[in-house]
Amino acid sequence: MDFWVWFSFVLISAANIVTPGPAILNTVRRAAQLGMGRVFPTILGNTLGLAIAGSFCAGGVASFVLTSEILWSVFRWLGVGYLVWLGLKFVFKREEIDLSGDVRASVSGMTLFWEAFLLAVTNPKAILFFVALFPQVMRSESALLPQAAILVATFCGISVLSLCSYSALASLLRARFITQARYRRFRVVSGFVLFGFAEKIAGEVR
């Protein structure tokens, strides 16, 4: 793969990734609640979900789904449903800020992993991004598998850096400014932002 083609992919991916979306909101919420040291399962879940989605796109599975109006609509409605469920959880579920430093407290690593993983694999925007961009940067005269592996690994690496940066910022604010009341307000606002993402996707489905 040509270096400048790859570098262009890096720039486009970075612009897409650092724009706040559901994954960033979820990670910031958990970092504000638990601290940066506790959100690595969240980052891992998101990264694995993106890797699977990218692999499906590279393998042509996503293109097959996109050609079927019914399958694509079902997939997007699943994404809408998960965003709404997570938004309701943000708004109504009571969560305490963990300032004790007890890594066993409050939320299990598996819970953090699975909520982030499901958010990544049900995100139709990520699928569309991969499907739109991969054909533009992959060269048919070269082996496709190594190219796909490079692109997926690059995208996931940028995502990890982005989520770590947002987590560090949220953790810093948590230590200095976050109170239980402010965290509650942040969660409610974030929940309604997720409802907005869900409404946007639902409008596109209709």
pLDDT tens for each residue of 12-56:
999 989 888 899 999 999 998 888 888 999 999 999 999 998 888
Amino acid at 194: L
Q: How far apart are CA 171 and CA 186, in angstroms?
A: 14
User: What's the token pair of residue 43?
Assistant: 């980052």
The rounded mean pLDDT for the chain is 83
Alpha-carbon distance 124 to 66, whole Å? 10
CA–CA separation, 146 and 100 (whole Å) = 45
What's the mean pLDDT in 135-143?
76
Q: What is the mean pLDDT of residues 140-145?
A: 76
Instruction: Return the residue matching tokens 């909520």.
Output: 115
DSSP tag of 177: T
Both structure tokens of 6: 């790859």
Query: What is the amino acid identity at position 140?
Result: S
Rounded Cα distance, 162 and 159, in Å: 5
Cα distance between residue 98 and residue 105, in whole Å: 7
pLDDT computed for residue 103 by the predictor: 44
User: What is the model's pLDDT at position 63?
Assistant: 58
Cβ atoms within 10 Å, residue 77: 15
SS3 assignment, position 38: helix
Using an 8 Å Cβ cutoff, are 157 and 17 in contact? Answer: no
What is the mean pLDDT of the segment spanning 170-192? 82
The DSSP code for 1 is -
The pLDDT, as a whole number, for residue 50 is 94
Work out the angle at residue 76's Cα, subtended by the Cα atoms of residues 137 and 6, and round it to the nearest 5 degrees.
15
pLDDT single digits (tens) 51-72: 998 888 777 655 555 567 777 7
Q: Report residue 35 as tokens.
A: 């601290």
What lies within 8 Å, CB to CB, of 70 at 6+ separation is none
Closest C-alpha among 196, 202, 203 to residue 22: 196
